[in-house]
Amino acid sequence: MGKGAVAAVFALLVVLVLAVVVVLITQGSVAIPLGEVVRVLTGRGAESEITRTIVLDARLPKVVAGLLAGAALAVGGTQMQTLFRNPLADPFVLGVSSGAVLGAAVVILGTGGVGWLAGLGVVSRLGVTGAAVAGAAAVLLIALGIARRVGDPVVVLVVGVMLGYLAGAIVDMLVYYTDPDRLQALATFTRGSVRNVTWDELQIISIACAVVLGLSVYLAQPLNALLLGERYASSLGVNVRRVHFLSLASVAVLSGITTAYCGAIGFVGLAAPHLARGLLRTADHRLILPASALIGAAIVLVAEYIAGGNGLTRTSLPLNSVTAFVGAPVILWVLLSGRSRKQAR
């Protein structure tokens, strides 16, 4: 694919993401014209205080959270697929997100009875985040250890699903023995949602995402070398251990943090890289990482729109019910086209 075509694909993706962002901010229970949104954002005074509140406190955090979560999951998924040498790897499918939920659940249920949504202090919020990242890292290490022994991507997939069930079962047990007040906090975790994220939380998410997404720029070329296998990568001067560590840490942070604030959003990390490769006709991480970040952001935002999280109804679909429509067909396509077996060699 020529440079022009690559630029065109990226331009298209950026326009797509911007379009969804605009739709999500302007449409909803109250339609707010774009001009007014811009006035609010540039601080030139809005028509009404209500408009200001809707844009700044309801819609914008949700959109930013969706953008970051989508990009983070997609970049995490891309790295996992290379790391595991498995086209079916993804934080959700391999149980990494469930590990994060378990980590978070232990801290939430184990600490004081104040409701999670009522507003935890920064310290305990960081504690929950850290626990989620640790939970994600633990499952990631177990899954990778098994993947290196087994090699067959389909077996690894099943193992990941089982690890996810196991973590989920432990969460259920914890919930069963806990008083109902604290359960509310856990409900969003398993459904996936970008609606309850506050600006304070967004700060943590965006700083972490900026660091880790920046790190993936450094990892792009070593990951390309890893496509040839570890022995070739090391013969090309790549420090395979360091790249593995940095990449695993990135995935743990990205999926741990998104899960801590937006719940376990499924299938984005799996589908986005495949769509990126399909669009750009390459596996080059320098192109695939940014492209799948944009695609992941677009998927989460579109899913958020479809899920009806725009205030039309009080209740809404879990995000996973929508993302499954993108993710499940991709998994089936990979399985049936035999790409999973081919890559196992």
Partner 1 sequence: MSGGPVLATEGLVVGYRRRGREVVVLRGVELAARAGELVAVVGPNGAGKSTLLRTVVGAQGALAGRVLLGGEDVGGLSARERARRVAVMLTEPVDVGLMSVEAVVALGRLPYRSWLGGRGERDQEVVDRALVDAGVGSLRDRVLSDLSDGERQRVMLARALAQEPAVLVLDEPTAFLDVARRIELAAVLSRLAATSGMAIVLSTHDLGFALRRADQVWLVRGQSVTASAPEDLAYSGAIADCFAGENMTFDDAAATVVVADNSTPGATVRVDAEGRLRHWAEHAVRRAGCTPTTGDSSLTLKIEPDARWWVDGAEGVGFGALVTHLRKSGSTAR
Chain residues in the site for partner 1 (CB under 8 A):
217-218, 221, 224-225, 227-229, 231-232, 234-239, 277, 281-284, 339, 342-343, 345
Q: Which is nearer to partner 1, 156 or 219 (CB)?
A: 219
- CA–CA distance, 232 with 99 (Å, rounded to integer): 32
Q: Which is nearer to partner 1, 55 or 238 (CB)?
A: 238
Q: Which is nearer to partner 1, 103 or 273 (CB)?
A: 273
- Ramachandran bin of 327, using left for φ above 0, alpha for ψ from -120 to 50, beta for the remaining angles: alpha
Q: Which is nearer to partner 1, 98 or 224 (CB)?
A: 224
Residue 316 tokens read as: 């809404």
Residue with tokens 């109804």: 313
Number of C-beta neighbours around residue 266 at 10 A = 26
- CA–CA distance, 216 with 237 (Å, rounded to integer): 18
Q: Which is nearer to partner 1, 165 or 232 (CB)?
A: 232
Give least dist CB 324 to partner 1, A.
25
* DSSP per-residue letters across 309-330: TTTTSSS---HHHHHHHHHHHH
Give least dist CB 334 to partner 1, A.
12
Give least dist CB 219 to partner 1, A.
9
Give least dist CB 284 to partner 1, A.
6
Give least dist CB 287 to partner 1, A.
10
- CA–CA distance, 48 with 33 (Å, rounded to integer): 13
Phi, psi for 45 (deg, rounded to 5): 85, 125
Q: Which is nearer to partner 1, 122 or 228 (CB)?
A: 228
Q: Which is nearer to partner 1, 83 or 307 (CB)?
A: 83
- CA–CA distance, 85 with 87 (Å, rounded to integer): 7
- Ramachandran bin of 159, using left for φ above 0, alpha for ψ from -120 to 50, beta for the remaining angles: alpha
Give least dist CB 268 to partner 1, A.
21
Helices (H), 151-284: 153-176, 183-191, 199-226, 230-235, 240-262, 268-280
Is 116:280 a contact under the CB 8 Å cutoff?
A: no
Give CA torsion, residues 208, 213, 215, 221, to 10 deg. Answer: 160
Query: What residues contact residue 108 under an 8 Å CB cut-off, 6+ apart?
Result: 116, 128, 182, 185, 186
Q: Which is nearer to partner 1, 41 or 217 (CB)?
A: 217
Give least dist CB 44 to partner 1, A.
39
Q: Which is nearer to partner 1, 325 or 342 (CB)?
A: 342
Give least dist CB 252 to partner 1, A.
22
Give least dist CB 157 to partner 1, A.
18
The CA distances from residue 111 to 50, 134, 164, 334, in Å, are 36, 17, 24, 43
